[in-house]
Amino acid sequence: AILLSPPSLEELAHNHTATLVCVASGFSPKTHEFRWWKNSEKMVEGITNIPATEDEKKLYSASSLLTMPESEWKSSAEFACEFVHKSGTAVRNTTYTPTPCLSEVKITIEPPTAEEQFVKKTATLTCRAIGLASHSDVSMTWTSEGKPLAAGAPEVRDQGGIIVAESKLTADLEKWRTGTEYRCIVSHTDSFPTPRTVVYKRSFAQKVVPSVFLLTSSSVENFGTKDEVTLTCFVKDFSPKDIYISWLAQDSVVDKVDYTVTDLIPSQGQKPLIGGSDMTIISDQIWAFSATGTLLVLRETTSICCKEFTNLYNIQTYIDYEGEVEESDHLWKTVSAFLSLFLITLFYSIVATITKVK
């Protein structure tokens, strides 16, 4: 059997040389000869022959190496290994072909997460190259406003059989928010001959203050027959789409595993967006909350919005930290009814007291 292997990508990248390996196995007797050809012309330089070895079946294996400059290998010439033996002659051919994945490398810059922006007050940009040809010599650098930015060495890993490289940049949060342009330059000769540059600049949209709704059952009786209660926060008609939703119980942050946040859904006209979050709580835990919980919504245009629910009744308060304080219709009706009953009771008490005095 004759096998001809092309040079490795690592050799091409590190040494800028190309070594072809021709292996013959399972032959006998031992006498043999390797011949190398380039476009039908016999080659005499750069050849290294490895002596034959014998296996337990008294059969022999041998190999021959042809080393040349990288440029010669990539010249589109055809190279051939000829194995000459008493049993016959075999020839294997090969030529350089560009790596198929060169045109498939995808490079993107991902913006910071909403949690980073609103909670941690940081901005981490991630430059990601997917589908590289090899792990070696991957360079990823950052620039902004014509100046280089400090970032660590890229992380290169295998992800489902695909080579992925990532570089993270900690940017100035305010500069990122105001639309400063950032560039990631990726260099990898095994994947593309010249460096590639991707640009990221935050886009701006009309600022629309969201409407936030906390959806619960209408009465406590509805919860008495269930072991769980699902609270839903519904956020609608807001822009831009940067938004972060979390839950608090007695001013303590609820673990993320206890609730889910849906994907954003564009409204008609692709302007406002809709988002939501569901949280399911065991009923015994609800009453341990002292009948008060808080949903926290953070976003750039409104800073902080919260809704409160008391005893799981429909008594809700919406607080906008830009200055306006709005009360839900349900709360206003409850308070109005309470005040009316109080005033009526007070009036009859005064009348009864005056009558007795007379």
d(CA 158, CA 3): 28
Last residue of a domain, one of 94, 126, 151: 94
Domain count, the chain: 3
Residues sharing a CB contact under 8 Å with residue 160, sequence separation 6 or more, in sequence order:
none
In a domain, 100, yes or no: no
Same domain, 120 and 69: no
Q: How many residues does the chain have?
A: 358
Q: Distance between CA 55 and CA 61 in Å, rounded? A: 8
Residue 155, pLDDT > 90, answer: yes
Are 229 and 303 contained in the same domain?
Answer: yes
Domain holding 268: CATH number?
2.60.40.10
Q: Looking at the structure, do residues 181 and 246 belong to the same domain, yes or no?
A: no
Please indicate, yes or no, whether residues 185 and 215 belong to a single structural domain of this protein.
no
In a domain, 8, yes or no: yes
Please spell the DSSP secondary structure of 287-333, one letter per residue: HTTTTEEEEEEEETTTEEEEEEEETTSS-EEEEETTS-EEE-HHHHH
CB 38 within 8 A of CB 79: yes
Q: Which of 100-104, 119-123, 289-293 has the lowest mean pLDDT?
A: 289-293
10 vs 195: which has the higher pLDDT: 195
Burial class (CB in 10 A: 0-12, 13-18, 19+), 37: middle
Considering the domain architecture, whether residues 272 and 294 belong to the same structural domain is answered as yes
The tally of CA atoms less than 13 A away on the side-chain side of residue 297 is 28
Expressed as residue numbers, the domain containing 278 is: 211-310
CA 216 – CA 289 distance, rounded (Å): 16
Final residue belonging to a domain, choices 273, 293, 310: 310
pLDDT: which is higher, 30 or 278: 30
Whether residues 12 and 37 fall in one domain: yes
Shared domain for 110 and 195, answered yes or no, is yes
Q: In the 8-state DSSP scheme, what is residue 161?
A: T
**pLDDT given for residue 311 in this prediction:** 28
In this prediction, residue 254 has a pLDDT band, given cuts at 50, 70 and 90, of confident
Alpha helix stretches (DSSP H) within 74-193:
114-115, 173-177
Please indicate, yes or no, if residue 227 is contained in any of the structural domains: yes
- For 37-50, what is each residue's pLDDT tens digit? 999 899 999 999 99
User: Are 84 and 156 part of one and the same domain?
Assistant: no
Residue 352 within a domain: no
Would residue 48 count as lying in a domain?
yes
Extract the tokens encoding 26: 């399972």
Give 219's Cβ-side CA count (13 Å radius).
3
Rounded Cα distance, 79 and 18, in Å: 12
Quick one: 227 and 289 in the same domain?
Answer: yes
Question: Of residues 217 and 306, which shows the higher confidence score?
Answer: 217
Whether 294 has a pLDDT exceeding 70, the answer reads no
Highest mean pLDDT out of 126-130, 276-280, 317-321, 327-331: 126-130
Judged against a pLDDT cut of 70, whether residue 295 lies above it is answered with no
What is the predicted pLDDT for the residue at 292?
32
Q: Which residue has the higher pLDDT, 197 or 219?
A: 197
Confidence of residue 344 (pLDDT cuts 50, 70, 90): low
Closest CA to 140 of 153, 149, 150: 153
Q: For residue 358, is it within any domain?
A: no
Structure confidence by residue, pLDDT tens digits, 18-34: 999 999 999 999 999 99
The residue assigned the tokens 């799981």 is: 312
Domain identity same for 27 and 78: yes
Mean pLDDT of the chain: 74
Specify the pTM.
0.50
156 and 195 part of one domain: yes
Residue 135 in domain: yes
Give the residue from 310, 327, 353 where a domain finishes. 310
Higher pLDDT, 233 or 5: 5
Tell whether 174 and 233 lie within a shared domain: no
Token output for 255: 């673990």
Q: Is residue 333 part of a domain?
A: no
Q: Which phi and psi (to 5°) does residue 171 adopt?
A: -100, 165
Q: What is the pLDDT of residue 108?
A: 94
For residues 57 and 41, what is the distance between their CA atoms, to the nearest angstrom? Answer: 36
